Amino acid sequence: MNVASKIESPATDLSRYFNDRSFDDAWEQYQEDGYVIFTDVLSSGQLEQQRAALKPWIDADIRGRNNFEGDQSNRIYGMLDKDPVFADLISHPLQLAFAERELGESCLLYACLAINLHPGETVQPWHFDDSHCGLARPRDPLSLSTFWSISDTTETNGATEIIPGSHKWGNEQPVGANRGSDFKTGVTDKKAGSKDDHPDMIKATMPAGSLMIAKGTLWHRGGGNSSDVPRLIVTPQFCKGWCRPLEQQLLAVSPEKVARFPKRVQELLGYNIHPPFMGYVDGMHPSRILSKD
């Protein structure tokens, strides 16, 4: 059977994001390179909203606890409990069109965090975002990550670094790949910035308001910030409906707040089933919890 013929084009009209290319063309590039970038996705008003909602958490200036989080970085988790404006990002139709085609309509929000790299931050260990499943490669991805630039991301302020095509790799690893210890609290044995550059890597520089969509199997890392300005991104990630999300959204966002979100956001947070009935609660659809008095 021709697989392409089984795949629907997205229902929402996304043409304004594609300029002179089609959705299928962008999808093709995503399949081949493991990522695709769109510019001018968020308006300046939407960017201002995101920055304003993030400001109190950035001002709190809680730094990362290990090499992976980065001790010169702020990471803001549990975002949908902090401000409803982040729900707009996770349900953005352009990103969801890719997530649904890759992972199915029952896909879940795997994680959503903001990452602010301060000047002086060094590169993150190389990793791919669906590595936590521990399954051998090559294989289809179990997750898809998106990267929204809330500030400009540049050559010097820490634009995310990616190795195009690395989603097709088997179990080989780039020099500087994350080790178990990179996730351990208190481990911050930083190495000099570009020591672990990969010959094929690129810096995904993006003007504020851009969106990069990447496969959960694509090797990437946060860049080092040698500039004098911070770099701010928000990175929602999605997984298949039968995977365990990295952040437990059902516990991270209070049900009172979830009840006020649009239905699609509720579904992405886990108030949904993976057919035929994975995710039921007391024999019923989990969305019933939200309509209980």
Contacts of 174 by beta carbon, 8 Å cutoff, 6+ apart: 126, 163, 166, 196, 198, 219
Region near Fe ion per CB under 5 A, out of 1-9, 28-36, 128-136, 181-189: 128-136
Report in angstroms how near the CB of residue 71 gets to Fe ion at its nearest: 17
**Are residues 211 and 161 in contact, defined by beta-carbon separation less than 8 angstroms?**
no
Q: Kindly tell me which of 167 and 220 has the beta carbon lying closer to ligand AKG.
A: 220
Least distance CB 254 / ligand AKG (angstroms)? 25
**Which residue, 144 or 273, has its beta carbon nearer to Fe ion?**
144
Q: How many residues bind Fe ion (CB under 5 A)?
A: 1
Q: Which is nearer to ligand AKG, 23 or 169 (CB)?
A: 169
* Distance (Å, whole) CA 131 – CA 101: 21
Q: Which is nearer to Fe ion, 233 or 273 (CB)?
A: 233
Please report how close the Cβ of residue 75 comes to ligand AKG at its closest, in angstroms. Answer: 8
Burial-class residue 35 by CB neighbours within 10 Å (0-12, 13-18, 19+): buried
By CB under 5 A, tell whether 247 contacts Fe ion: no
Task: Single out the residue of 69, 121, 129, 267 in contact with Fe ion (rule: CB under 5 A).
Answer: 129
- Neighbouring residues of 42: CB distance < 8 A, sequence distance ≥ 6: 50, 148, 208, 209, 211
By beta-carbon distance, which residue lies closest to Fe ion?
Answer: 129
160 interface partner picked from Fe ion, ligand AKG, none, CB below 5 to 8 A per type = ligand AKG
Strands across the sheet with 220-221, in order?
Answer: 202-203, 161-162, 220-221
Residue 268 CA to residue 248 CA, distance in Å, equals: 12
Q: How many residues does the chain have?
A: 293
Q: Least distance to Fe ion from the beta carbon of 137, Å?
A: 16
Taking the complex as a whole, the smallest distance from the CB of residue 87 to ligand AKG amounts, in Å, to 21
Please choose which of ligand AKG, Fe ion, none residue 210 contacts, taking the beta carbon within 5 to 8 angstroms, the exact cut-off set by kind.
none
Q: For residues 41 and 162, which CB has a smaller minimum distance to Fe ion in the complex?
A: 162
CB of 206 to ligand AKG, least distance (A): 10
- Using alpha carbons only, give the angle 289, 291, 293 rounded to the nearest 5 degrees: 95
Q: Which residue is nearest to ligand AKG (CB)?
A: 222
128's tokens: 């791919």
Its sign, for the CA torsion 166, 209, 98, 240, is positive
Q: Which is nearer to ligand AKG, 87 or 123 (CB)?
A: 123
Biggest distance spanned by C-alpha atoms of the chain: 58
Q: Which residues contact ligand AKG (rule: CB under 6 A)?
A: 115, 124, 129, 160, 220, 222, 233
Cα-based distances in Å from 130 to 80, 104, 146: 21, 16, 13
Min dist. Cβ of residue 212 to ligand AKG (A): 9
